[in-house]
Every structure is written in structure tokens, then in C-alpha cells.
Amino acid sequence: MRSSSKQATRCSRSTTLWVVLLLPLSTARGQTIREQAQNLEKQGKYFEASCVYDELLSKDRNHPELREGYRRCLRHFRQQRRLDDQPLQSIISKFTAAEAGNLYDQILGIVVKHYADRERVDLTSLFQNGLQELRASTHKKAFLLRNLDRVTEADLAAFRASLDEFEGEKIPSLAHAREKVRKIVTLGNQLGLPAGVIALELACGAANSLDEYSLYLAPGRVAPARAALKNKIVGIGVELTLVGQRLEVSRVYRNSPATVSELQKGDRIVRIDGHEIDPQAPDLAAERLLGKAGTDVKLEVIPRGQMMAQTIEVKRQAVLPLSVDWERRGNEGDYIGYIRIHSFQESTLQEVKDALTQLQQQMGLRGVILDLRGNPGGLFKSALDVAELFLPDSVIVHTHGPETPGHPENDLNRVYRSHNMSPYGMPLVALVDGETASAAEILAGALKDNGRAKVVGQTTYGKGSIQCVIPLERAPGGLRLTVARFSTPSRVPFSGRGLLPHVTVNESDPDVALRTAEQVLRGAMIID
């Protein structure tokens, strides 16, 4: 689908796991989509602007100006979120100069050692991007109020001019970079700017410049980022969608507190614990729903189709956000199995196995549709395991990453194969769209290249990379870093191009794509 809901999922892939954003793609007065993105950026609405840029990129993935606009807005959004993170800012403001240097050293050291594309790990470029990030922070209101509220405009201008003197500096080694950071910290200290604040901006600028998926994670975001993939979330069991200026429930997990409280898809959340929803910080609303098991969260909700708000209290608990839904489609004795995989997490393999077992309990199963539409990816190993369910001895995916001499177990330059001697043998169709990404593309690509399934839908997203969350040892937070890239069994890369289906369905109506998939599976549509 190329509707605003697809735009939402794509944007959320680079920002937060639970909140997506819907923006209209047409405006009054005939404003073009690109003008909409540019205007949002000028207004400082970087999250919204990045979503619009990303929708434009779905039409032309390799457009340099759109790619630059998208990444620029993402960096501004992430920086603003970081500057507004009071616990983080409080921690780093107390750093000594030595601790600040260690923070910078560790982040750059991880990037140099583990980033997938060694040719892009140029110390000069990383340092200069960090310098840009620090300079940009001196124009942010939150940064100035917290750190430089008593500094005159003349002194601030002088500090910016001193940063300009570092432009063009060549950085031959990490030690040289550390020395430059020490000098910048000294200049900042003369204004009362904390060493840790300076080092963090310099380090974040380096990490955030690599690609749209690599970034520094504040301490409060490391655990949720890792827990979400491990299927360990304490909350109420919903996913949220920001539609215009309204926060709505987009999915309710089965057997969750939200189910008990009768929250439904389409319900609008107005306040959380008395806090009004801020359209500029949609991820904050999702975070307010998380907390300790057994605690209550008070929601002001307008039920779908109604006008009056209701106040309810929901008790948080450990939620099992199941990644798979399934159903039988058709008549008894002649039906199709339908399995939708929302994401790949630790429980996905067993969930798919359970679904297949349930589907096969009745006679007349003609085949299975694996619906991967809107699936943003998830755990790499989980996708491999699901692929192996259906594939005999064959290649699943090639990965390409930095070599680790002496540690072959960490080498990401590998060929992953299926060794299943008795795979599930029923006919398969994989249903994909422009939001099928990363691990989901691995599964679809493996099934297509090995001739195991027909692929129906739209060209996939083209996110051919793998990220890991790496906690920092001597500093708060961690890094989400691209550590490898992958290609199909026939060695065709995904990045920037996506996977082309056998049958393309351009209709935005999801039911059309599903009906087409059923026709292909039943043999009503012959595919060469």
C-alpha cells in the first residue's frame, strides 16, 4: 500500500517501536508533497517531515535530495528528543573531562570496530559530523535553557566561531580525535558548558551520520529496545497510531490488560495519567504506558465512533505481544491457511509452528498464505528459523559485515542455509508490500529465490541491513548500530531496491492483494 498508513510504519521503523504517524499526502491549495515536507521542516516539525520525506523515498529510493532531507530531519528529531531527556542530561552534565573523553572514545571505538561498511568509517567524517551536531545544539532552545541560559549572544557567537576553526581538520587516529575533543571541551567549559554534554553531542553526531538506523540510545531506551525484540514488555498491550493530531489505538494484543479493559482499535486516547497527548512527542505517549507490573495507568479515552471521553484505569502487567495471527479462509474441506507475521521476535517460530498445527487439524488444507505486509523485521535468527520450516537444504541469505580475525563465531560474512530434511511441503504464497522490511525481506527473498513460494503484492521496503543494540560499558546508554548487510540467496542486495514480487498488486485496498494471493495459491492465476 502507498497510503498514509504505510508511511506511518516506515517512519516508525527509524524512530520508535510502538508509535506510528499518519499524515495526509494531499493538502488544500494543491501543495505538493515535497513542499509539505519542506514546510514541516521549516516549522521544526522534524518527525512529521521525516515521515513525508520517507513517503517520497518510497517512490524513488535513490533520490539524493530526498534521502538527504529524510536523514537531516531524523537527526534533528533524535537530537531534540535527546536534549529533552532530563534524566540523561542530568547524568552527563556531571561528567568530568576524563569521563567525557571516555564516552566519546567508547562510542567511536564501537563504530570503528563493528559498523558494517568499513569504507564509511572515516574518522575525519565522523569527527566533522559530530562537530555539526554540537553546533546545531547551540541553536536548540532546550540546550540553551539548560546549559547556556546566562551566556550572552556575543559569547555564544564566539563559541560557534571557535567551532568553525575545527572544520577541515584531518583526523588520522582515535587518539587525534580525542585530543580535538579535549580542546573543544576546554572551550566549552569557558562558557560553563559541561564536558559530558559536549562529548555526547560530538559522539552522537558521529553515530547518527552513519545511516538512518544507527544511533545513540539514551539509558531509558536501551532496555525497551532490547526487551521489545525479546518479547518482554510491561505495559497495557496496545500499539498506537498518531492520526493527524490524534493518538489512536491501532492494535490490541490478545490476553492483555487492554483487552480486559475493552480498549479497541480506533479508540482515541486523549490523556495519559493527566498528561495531554503532545503531537510533537508521540513516542513519549507510548512510554507513559510502560511501567512496573501491577501499577495503574489512567487513560482518558474517546471510544471509536463516539464523541464523549471516558476515564478508565488499566493495570500494567508483563504483556506477551504475540507476533502471529492465523485463520482458515474458505469452506470446510477446501480452505486456505492464512498466517500473518507482524514481526520477528523470540516467540515467532513457535507461534508459526502452532498456527500450522492448528491449520492442519482439519482436512482440505490447499496451501498457506504467509502475510508479511507491514512487517518491519525484528530478530534475524527468528526469520532464519521460520524460513527453515519451509525450505529443504538450500541457501537462506548471505550476510556481509566486518571480519573478526581470530573470532570466526563473530564473523558476519556468512552464508546461512536451511538443513531441514522434512520441511512443510504445502503450497505457499508470500504476501508483501512496501512496508515489508529487513528480516521479513529475508524470509520472502529466501522463499522466492528457492522457488518455494510465489510472492504477491508490492516491491518491499529495501532495508537490507542488520542492527544490534550494544550497551556502553563506561557511559550511560548504548548504540543501535548497523553491523551487517544481507542479500538474497542469488546474492542480490535488498538495500535501496527491495524485493520484486512475482505478481504486482498496485491497489491500495489490502483485500485486493489478499484475494489475488488466494487466486495464485488456488492456481486460478498461472505464474511462470
pLDDT per position as a tens digit, 160-199: 999 999 998 899 999 999 999 999 999 999 999 999 999 9
Classified as helix, coil or strand, 48 is helix
Contacts of 75 (CB under 8 A, 6+ apart): 133, 205, 208, 209
- Do the domain assignments include residue 215? no
- Do the domain assignments include residue 176? yes
Q: How many domains does the chain have?
A: 4
Mean of the pLDDT values across residues 23-35?
Answer: 52
Q: What is the pLDDT of residue 280?
A: 59
> Do 288 and 297 form a contact (C-beta atoms < 8 A)?
yes
pLDDT per position as a tens digit, 3-17: 333 433 344 443 333
C-alpha to C-alpha distance for 145 and 137, rounded to whole angstroms: 11
- Do the domain assignments include residue 222? no
C-alpha to C-alpha distance for 521 and 509, rounded to whole angstroms: 19
Q: Write the Ramachandran bin of 381: left for phi over 0, alpha for psi from -120 to 50, otherwise beta.
A: alpha
Q: What SS3 string covers 50-65?
A: HHHHHHHHHHCCCCHH
Are 413 and 502 found together in one domain?
yes
DSSP state of 18: S
Are 373 and 430 found together in one domain?
yes
- Do the domain assignments include residue 436? yes
The domain boundary, picked from 284, 319, 354, lies at: 319
Mean of the pLDDT values across residues 280-288?
Answer: 71
Are 126 and 197 found together in one domain?
yes
The domain boundary, picked from 39, 61, 80, lies at: 80
Output the average pLDDT for the chain. 85
Contacts of 120 (CB under 8 A, 6+ apart): 210
- Do the domain assignments include residue 220? no
Q: Which of 215-229, 245-259, 425-439 has the lowest mean pLDDT?
A: 215-229
Are 433 and 518 found together in one domain?
yes
Are 303 and 329 found together in one domain?
no
Q: Which three cell numbers stand for residue 255?
A: 490476553
Are 443 and 308 found together in one domain?
no
Residue 275 belongs to domain spanning: 232-319
Q: Which of 47-51, 77-81, 342-346, 403-407 has the lowest mean pLDDT?
A: 403-407
- Do the domain assignments include residue 224? no
Element (H, E) at 273: none
Nearest CA to 369 out of 394, 343, 390, 385 is that of 390
Mean of the pLDDT values across residues 216-226?
Answer: 74
Amino acid making up residue 455: V
Q: Is the pLDDT of residue 521 over 50?
A: yes
Domain of 280, CATH number, reads: 2.30.42.10
pLDDT per position as a tens digit, 75-134: 999 999 899 988 899 999 999 999 999 999 999 999 998 999 877 789 999 999 999 999
| Number of other CB atoms surrounding residue 254 within 10 Å | 12
314 CB-contact burial (10 Å; exposed 0-12 / middle 13-18 / buried 19+)? buried
Are 367 and 478 found together in one domain?
yes
Mean of the pLDDT values across residues 215-236?
Answer: 70
